[in-house]
Structure 1
Amino acid sequence: MFDSRHIKTFHTVVTAGSYSAAARALGYTQPAVTQQMKALERAVGTPLFVRVGRRMRLTEAGEAMARHAEVILESLTAAQQQMSAITRLRAGRVRVCAFPSASATLLPEAVARLAADHPGVRVELLEGEPPDSLRRLSRGECDITLAFTYPGLHEHIPDEMVEIPLLEDQLTILMPIGHPLARRRAVKLADLEGERWIAGCLRCRTNFLHECAEQGFAPDIAFTTDDNLVVQSLVAEGLGVAMMPGLVLSFLRHDKITGRALDPASRRQVSAYVLREHLRIPATALVLDELKAVAARRVGC
């Protein structure tokens, strides 16, 4: 294993032409330069210099080392600059795994704010629903996970993972605009007992079935899909109604559907999750700050 200090001194000896000139350039004593070159030669296992009269000449091994030394030092300098940039928030990569409605609402605004102030910080998006998205965080496949949970769902969070609550997302009923209950500001789940339903992801579907059971009925689930736009299209065509998170109302794409709050209100908790040790990484902490700011504004609206 070569010492980077010895590589730097060797490169200076080669460019300066002698131990004494290298010592002056580096601010060392000549014996210090001599000792470093002896240590490097021991590490290499062969001499790097030979004397020809009063001059020093590189051996074959020395010539090979000289070719590599400049590349090694350039790589070390680049690495130092990159680490410094990351530390000072000029650069960095943050991988965020988010569920679809967060990807369509919270994340774009947070990333846009980040890009304006810190253009060197790169955010990469992965999509995933909990609990799989939380497992991806544990496996190191992402740096931040945006996930949600419902009341009564006892989520086990590993000790190395931190939950950062962002907002409570109120559930709504999506229905065609001509539906008889669309005239109300809020609807009771029990009033929809006879409807056909479009259900979402496994976690949402589990909560939906639980809430229906508490109201004393088993819903007629006609379609199941994780795609929010597919849900909207099915509702728009009168093929069923759906219980959806309030974030979805931010990107309704059909003028044939409307959303109504549940009475009594039902909510899910949206949170960011990060490995505890990653909280110290500046770029990751910055993305979390932007997500919290965006979520706070939505709560205040």
Structure 2
Amino acid sequence: MLRVFCAVADHGSLADAAEALGRTPSAVSMMLRRFEDHIGAPLFESARKSHLTPLGRLIRDEAARELEHFERTVARIEGLAQARQGRVRIAVTPSVAQVVMPPILRRFMADHPGVRIEMSDTDSATIERELEAGRADIGLATIGPMAGFERELLFSDPYGVVCPVDHRLARNWSRLTWADMADTTLIANGLCRQITDEGFRPILEGATLMVRNTASLLSLVRSGVGVTILPELAVLPEFLDLEFLPLVECSTRREVWMFTRPDIFMTPATRAFVATIRASNVSGRAELQDN
């Protein structure tokens, strides 16, 4: 009724309004009559429908605002359903944020410019808490299975010693073993608990400094406080003052998993982001860097 009334008011005749609406003049006339009966007062000054009554002008303004709001609401609903709008909250580890996410974000933002993305980079334990609390829609982290979440392996990379380029361990890194670290100060981090090698256990137990933030950790390594153990992708190529040293005896690899709620509980925007991650060949890029 509101749409028909506004069309007649805007076009000034039943015939023109009917053509604009794709209806017959008699259908428009009947709908307009029902609307005036519902209001209980005439909205046009004459049968020609070329001039509104004072009440008609007031109702025209209100109807226009309501129709505009309705169109925005429908567009918003369609945008959400088709992943043209919405929000995706992602929690990732720092190395994933720096190495893996940039091409994924570029592609997704180009394909879905209306979707708002919120990304936080933090340690895996915090990512687990963010997922459980419902503050993240997607998590990329090194954690075990979680009840109520789908878990999909994205890639794995080896652990190694990270030290300054002029550190003594870097002189003979091709045969580096856990025993070579016996007299070296280890700065532990959250990922160290993932390494199950027997040779590493006494080294970790002897560490007196634990740093969880990757940026702070690498800053301390640069300043000579000690060395640390990190996965290979955590040491970016531009870190020219740091060296990543593979360990001959280290059998453990860091595994990065994608965590999401089951598909039925994901918004279309979240599903679209998950599809972009899967299409990005993350495992292939990780293997290429590993080799």
Q: TM-score range by the shorter chain?
A: 0.7 to 0.9
| Residue correspondence of structure 1 range 18-97 to structure 2 within 5 A | 22-23=17-18, 25-26=20-21, 27-28=23-24, 30=26, 34-35=30-31, 38=34, 42=38, 46-47=39-40, 49-50=42-43, 52=45, 54=47, 62-81=56-75, 84=78, 93-97=87-91
- Structure 2 residue corresponding to 1:227, chosen from 213, 219, 222: 213
| Residue correspondence of structure 1 range 93-242 to structure 2 within 5 A | 93-116=87-110, 119-149=113-143, 154-158=144-148, 161-182=149-170, 183-185=172-174, 187-201=176-190, 204-207=191-194, 215-216=201-202, 219-242=205-228
1:166, CA displacement in angstroms? 0.8
Distance, in Å, in 2 between the alignment partners of 1:207 and 1:280 is 32
Which SS does the other structure have where 2:145 is aligned? coil
Contact 1:115 1:121 in 2 (8 A): yes
Q: Which whole-Å deviations, capped at 9, do the CAs of 1:125-151 have from their partners, x for residues lacking one?
A: 2233334324434544333222222xx
Gaps of 5+ in 2: none
Distance, in Å, in 1 between the alignment partners of 2:111 and 2:44 is 57
Distance, in Å, in 2 between the alignment partners of 1:145 and 1:37 is 57
Equivalent position amino acid for 2:150 in 1: V
Which SS does the other structure have where 2:124 is aligned? coil
Contact 1:166 1:271 in 2 (8 A): yes
Contact 1:278 1:284 in 2 (8 A): no
Count of aligned pairs: 282
1:167, CA displacement in angstroms? 0.5
Distance, in Å, in 1 between the alignment partners of 2:160 and 2:253 is 9
1:249, CA displacement in angstroms? 1.9
Distance, in Å, in 2 between the alignment partners of 1:137 and 1:58 is 57
- Over the aligned positions, Cα root-mean-square deviation in angstroms equals 3.6
Which SS does the other structure have where 2:150 is aligned? strand
Distance, in Å, in 1 between the alignment partners of 2:46 and 2:105 is 65
Structure number with the higher strand fraction is: 1
Aligned residue for 1:3? none
Contact 1:93 1:123 in 2 (8 A): yes
State the TM-score, normalized to the length of structure 2. Answer: 0.76
1:191, CA displacement in angstroms? 4.0
Distance, in Å, in 1 between the alignment partners of 2:48 and 2:212 is 76
CA spacing shift, 1:68–1:190, aligned 2, 3 Å: farther
Distance, in Å, in 2 between the alignment partners of 1:195 and 1:219 is 13
Gaps of 5+ in 1: 1-5
Contact 1:195 1:220 in 2 (8 A): no
1:124, CA displacement in angstroms? 3.2
Aligned residue for 1:13? 8
Distance, in Å, in 2 between the alignment partners of 1:145 and 1:41 is 57
CA spacing shift, 1:191–1:251, aligned 2, 3 Å: same
Equivalent position amino acid for 2:3 in 1: K
